[in-house]
Amino acid sequence: MQQRFAIATMFVAALGIATSAADAQSLGDRLKKRASEAAKRTAEQKVDQKATQATNAALDKAENTIKCATSDTACQDKAKSDGKTVVIDDSAPKGGAPAAAAASTSAASASSANSSSATASDTAEPKEAAAFVNFDFVPGERVLFADDLTKDNVGDFPKRLEFVKGNMEVAEWKGARWLRATTDGQFEIPLPENLPDRFTVEFEHVGVASSWPFVTLTFAGKRDDRAGDQVVFKTWDGNSATSGGGVFGGDGTERAKGQVKDAQNKPFTARIMVDGRYAKVYMGGTRVANVPNATLGRANKIFIMFDASADSPAYFRNFRVAAGGRKLYDAIAEKGRASTQGIYFDTGSDRIRPESAPTLKEIGEMLKEHADLKLTIEGHTDNVGAAASNQGLSEKRAAAVRQFLIDNYSVDGARLTAKGLGSTKPVGSNDTPEGRQNNRRVELVKM
């Protein structure tokens, strides 16, 4: 408890709320006033507007371009009246089709063919709490742990997590299944092996705050590890527009921290990307910490500690821990193919999500740098649902990726072939959440 208070006090101070030993006892009662004052004093975070605009423009281009046949004047007129860009393509169906994002599948196929994202599920997905700023997160390609809580009974603690303490249960909330905590608590994510040199962590979180909830992650396998660094996420109460996250020492010493806006009382995705001692932390679509010499540990479990109460519950879901790997080109050069979990789609759809930008950028720049490289883009799904629906969705997703690279990175279409394989080429067991996650992927195959 002493350690948690030390970390909490240091973190609040780092984000602009002055604290001392004398006023520590009354900090909770004074938090709202101090947070409001701090919000007025804190300078607006500078963002890389150019990078953000480029990402948004690329995705807007994919979504606002309509293919129409030469003779389909009705399609062309409608697209123009809707403010869309018309691309003449005589292979387009009558009435037109989006150039890089076709219509969603039916509700049945939406539940049978998930996206490759760790945060995608069969329920409505929460919107990110912030715009994508300095976002360069690329998930590991080999999933070590994945759980969306759909196999657990409402009212139970999740079977695949390890309980430590607190009041926690699986609950239905806002149309989705979450781990809900109504007291301060602790739990662990068990792993089949020690964390490798490169790894990523993702989960969705909501801190419905009336006080000052923290979520702290420790990677060294010790619940009270003051030697290694920890990752902390924080949502303020309703009187402050600022939330944040960062890397702190086990004794509360600040290593790096950052802020986002409009994250309180809303779902956001917490993401951590580690490469050796290099650690980056993301809150929603914003990178909030960038530490080149972190000491996060490499245990076979991740320890999570958080604050919550009956009036201010904490919510968690969609956990994914993945092992990182080499750059895509290195894998292609050695094995002739590379798998990626970093291209995200809306559930049951081939609409590419904004968080796919870092992986798509890596592929696009790789193709520019290696002008002789030709690729087959393969779409893969798990075996949940009808095989025909999975096959069709995988084909559309592969085609969407191909078109995105052509449109946004000026890649010659002759260098890219799209191929959907549905659930016919699994790389893991479809009987486990990790296997299904690994099977839902996009692969790049050298031609």
- pLDDT tens-digit series, residues 30-89: 444 444 444 444 433 333 344 444 444 554 455 556 666 544 656 666 666 666 655 555
| Structural domain boundaries in the chain | 2-43+122-323, 49-98, 107-117+342-446
Mean pLDDT of 137-151: 92
Distance CA 408, CA 402 (A): 10
Burial zone of 409 (CB within 10 Å; 0-12 exposed, 13-18 middle, 19+ buried)? middle
Is residue 93 scored above 90 in pLDDT?
no
DSSP structure class, residue 160: T
Six-digit token string for 123: 């329920």
Query: For residues 322 and 193, is the Cβ–Cβ distance under 8 A?
Result: no
Across 33-47, 85-99, 227-241, 373-387, the highest mean pLDDT is recorded for 373-387
Predicted local confidence at residue 174, as pLDDT: 86
Please give the pLDDT value at position 68.
Answer: 61
Q: Cα–Cα–Cα angle for 327, 390, 132, nearest 5°?
A: 45
Q: How does 164-177 read in b/e, with b if 16+ C-beta sit within 10 Å?
A: eebebbbbeeeebb
pLDDT of amino acid 261 = 78
The pLDDT value given to residue 423:
92
For the beta carbon of residue 88, count every other beta carbon within 10 angstroms. Answer: 11
- Lowest-pLDDT choice from 208-212, 324-328, 428-432: 208-212
Phi, psi of 417 (to 5 degrees): -125, 135
- Over the chain, what is the mean pLDDT? 77
> Are the CB atoms for 118 and 344 separated by under 8 Å?
no
Q: Are the C-beta atoms of 272 and 322 separated by less than 8 Å?
A: no
CA–CA dist 12, 29 (Å, integer): 14
pLDDT reported for residue 285: 86
Same fold, 2-43+122-323 and 107-117+342-446: no
- Please tell me the predicted confidence (pLDDT) of residue 434: 92
pLDDT above 70 covers a percentage of the chain that reads 66
Q: Is the domain defined by 107-117+342-446 classed in CATH 3.10.20.90?
A: no
Specify the 3-state DSSP secondary structure of 414.
helix
CATH of domain 2-43+122-323: 2.60.120.560
Confidence of residue 318 (pLDDT cuts 50, 70, 90): very high
| Of 88-102, 229-243, 274-288, 406-420, minimum mean pLDDT range | 88-102
* Distance separating the N- and C-terminal Cα atoms of the chain: 58
Q: How confident is the model at residue 325 (pLDDT cuts 50, 70, 90)?
A: low
Question: With contact defined as beta carbons under 8 Å apart, do 224 and 203 qualify?
Answer: no
Secondary structure element (H or E) that encloses residue 199, with its range: strand 198-207
Higher pLDDT: 319 or 54? It is 319
Phi and psi (nearest 5°) for 289? -150, 145
Structure tokens at 313: 């519950």
Q: How confident is the model at residue 126 (pLDDT cuts 50, 70, 90)?
A: very low
Using DSSP, state whether 242 is helix, strand or coil: strand
Range 174-194 average pLDDT: 93
**273: closest CA among 252, 245, 249, 235?**
245
pLDDT of residue 146: 95
- HEC profile of 288-332: EEEECCCCCCCCCEEEEEECCCCCCCEEEEEEEEEECCCCHHHHH
Please report the pLDDT score of residue 77 as a whole number: 64
* pLDDT band of 98, cuts 50, 70, 90: low
- Residue 34 near residue 239 (C-beta atoms within 8 A): no
Q: What is the identity of the amino acid at 204?
A: E
The residue with greater pLDDT, 186 or 226, is 186
- Residue 132 in contact with residue 286, Cβ under 8 Å? yes
The interaxial angle of helices 387-409 and 49-63, nearest 10 deg, is 130
Q: What is the per-residue pLDDT across 331-360, written as a single tens digit (0 to 9) for each?
A: 898 889 999 988 999 888 899 998 899 999
pLDDT at 385: 87
Beta-carbon contacts of residue 209 (< 8 Å; ≥ 6 apart): 235, 236, 237, 238, 264, 265, 312
Which phi and psi angles does 304 have, rounded to 5°?
A: -120, 125
Kindly state the percentage of the chain with pLDDT values over 90: 46
